Amino acid sequence: MCGIFAYTGTKDCREMLVNGLKMLEYRGYDSAGIVAISSSSDIFLEKAVGRVSALASKVDASKSDTKKYTSGIAHTRWATHGGVTVENTHPHISTNKRFYVVHNGIIENYKELKKSLSETYSFYSQTDTEVIAKLVESLFDGNLKSTMEKVSKKLVGAYSLAVIDSENPGTIVGIKLGSPLIVGKGTDGVYISSDINALSSLAESFSILEDNEMVVIQEGEYSIFMSGHLVERAAEEVQEGQKIDELGDFTSYTEKEIFDIPSVLENVWSGRIDFTNMSIHNETLEELSDLDIERICIISSGSSYYAGDIGSYFFRKFSGISASAVISSEFLSDVFLPDSKTLYVFLSQSGETADVRESMKIVKAKGCMTFGIVNVVGSTIARMADLGLYSHAGVEVGVASTKNVIAQVGVLLMMSISLGLKKDLQISEARGIIAELASLPDKISQTLMQGPHIKELAKKYSSFNDMFVLGRNYFYPVAGEASLKIKELSYIHSESYSAGELKHGPLALVSKDFPTLVFNPMGKFYAKTISNIQEVSARKGPILGIISSNDTHKELYSDMIELPETSELLSVFTGLVSSYLFALYLAEVLGRDVDKPRNLAKSVTVE
């Protein structure tokens, strides 16, 4: 959460810093600020509460300032310490106005440091970041690198930061511990960023900092250090897949990303599933299948948790392996009982999710096997895992994850089939599933064609303040993910339940003003869910059914989204996609900011 961007080079950097923040805005958008410094130490400082666009307007208004500012740091904030005010907006400044700091993360001991520093310095903000700026001034020894080494020893927490000295603006120092930080080099200078998105059109190569590493940018070059020693590491080239696509004719990135899902699934299968021979070929999965795995524990947060929970059904059904999904923050709060026969699977879109990352550290410290499923190449969780697969969803800009969730579910299904073939899953059954997967992108495309119908339903249901979302078996976690999307995007209060739990309390809320969205495609539990629908209908609750096109009880529903005729298994994917469209259009009808929902940030890098 929060986005850091920095530059030093030959160009005036004010507009560049703002544009960098626009690329990072999904990480936090409560406020934003930049400081740009010329080679003669002229300072341009601007801050704004609200979106980066508010900052951009202020920077645009300063075009009469013709000085050339060739170094600077920038920040877009997701508030943790202190309210959303200009005073709390980064960059933060030392008392002597010499040092400027931007910071992502949490300094856990900032109160103790602030108390000590208050004997000498006064504070203007409520943030933990201002403490760093004062600490830099307090410990400055004439060299920013050695000073920051001393500063880092005083800080407790998970963070990344960038510091610039206005008297030596060509030097920028960045430090990483927990929160991500990347340094990139282009033809016009050197950059620091919280992730690759902001560098993709600027840098030709980049390096990802590891925990406890420091990057020093000086005279157009950068060097990486750990514990004062130079780290030798070859830079990586920026790849095409790390660049953000144009929005095109779509009204939001979230909408575009939902419509990207058919091609995303093709990327997930590519090089892993041989549809000609109906088989799975992947070195990682083959290595995984050779392990003695008796249990699988899937650890994740948010939408990834629901993807993992869906995956747990796959592992039990197709692999014959006991599997469970655990919310990562709860994993950290509980007693960990390590088990050498358990495979611990970690899901994260960004590969930087703090709770997931810290859970993995605990598991690895006990010598247990870890498996990462992430979208961002080279991310912390990808580097830490013993084994792993990328979800290959492409850059996801919308804060509410959509296409990556589908990709994660696809990867988990593929894993379950591969593991199952080493156990009791029959080859004929596996081939039947693989044959179905070949048709899945087309089935999803058919689902997406119902957009106009779903938009009309959204207009109707946008008038309600509350909503239940129900499902059974596979569709219980599907309902959880759909409910989360409705909350995230539309701000409508939504709760998900197993359909069988409705009569155990929640039914008391059902009325004509409290609708129920129910997933009930044709399958093993279809008839049981029909009974639950009748319970809602008897209380005059509106019912929106996400059902198979060949459903034989359509008269029970107030409204319907009909899924293309397919198996119960593939209806997991088409059902999720239809619910994403419903949540998207609810949000549009209600005038919500679809790509940047209030109070949220995409990459949750603090616990």
Catalytically annotated residues: 2, 602
Q: Are 199 and 184 in contact (CB under 8 A)?
A: yes
Q: For the residues of 304-339, what is the DSSP string, one character each?
A: HHHHHHHHHHHIIIII--EEEEEEHHHHHHSPP---
DSSP 68: -
d(CA 165, CA 568): 61
Cα dihedral 134→137→140→145 (10° resolution): 60
Q: For the residues of 235-280, what is the DSSP string, one character each?
A: PEEPPGGGSPPP-TT-SSHHHHHHHTHHHHHHHHHTTTEETTTTEE
Q: Give which of 186, 134, 129, 139 is closest to 162, Cα–Cα.
A: 129
DSSP 514: B
d(CA 254, CA 343): 33
Q: Give which of 206, 204, 187, 182 is closest to 350, Cα–Cα.
A: 182
User: Is residue 366 left, alpha or beta, with left meaning phi > 0 and alpha meaning psi from -120 to 50?
Assistant: alpha
Strand 559-563 to strand 543-548: parallel, antiparallel, or no bridges (unpaired)? parallel
Q: Give which of 397, 398, 376 is closest to 385, Cα–Cα.
A: 376
d(CA 32, CA 49): 6
Tokens standing for residue 188:
């016009």
User: Is residue 518 left, alpha or beta, with left meaning phi > 0 and alpha meaning psi from -120 to 50?
Assistant: beta
d(CA 554, CA 548): 10
Q: Give which of 208, 244, 179 is closest to 2, Cα–Cα.
A: 179
d(CA 521, CA 563): 8
d(CA 130, CA 92): 5
